[in-house]
Homo-oligomer: A and B are copies of this chain.
């Protein structure tokens, strides 16, 4: 299984690196990460942009899938659904916890709950990951 540090390093030049996503736990049934609500991740009104929640969650759910892949397999997200519930203020930190609802041979389903600094649920993201053969 890929370990947390290896994945974190892979992130650096990519979108999760740009956004400052930090993994704090990577296990086969649970992935946890955090992200600082920097001003340049916000929308008007000094609150975290809806797109930032979705990108953060998409990242955690994909990590969860990757650590469950059998050798010779790869994954792609086929869909993602988000409910937005509360706001996260600039210069605070949000925590995302992604748990596996399903880990099958063809698809996996991960659900990520993002909470603000007061522990309040801000967004719930549920995504389906398709499991495919990796190119030889």
Contacts and interface: CB of A to CB of B under 8 A. Distances in A.
A18 to B, nearest CB: 4
A36 interface: no
Contact of A62 (B43, B86, B124): B43
Main DSSP-derived SS at the A contact region: mixed
A39 B12 CA distance: 11
Nearest to A40: B18
A121 interface: yes
Give the number of times this chain occurs in the complex, counting copies: 4
A128 interface: yes
B54 A58 contact: yes
Given A55-B54, A55-B55, A101-B124, A85 B109 contact: yes
Interface of A: 10, 13-18, 39-44, 49-52, 54-59, 62, 76-86, 101-102, 104, 106-107, 109, 111, 121, 124, 126, 128, 130, 132
A-B pairs, 6 with minimum CB distance: A51-B55, A81-B81, A15-B49, A54-B54, A51-B58, A18-B40
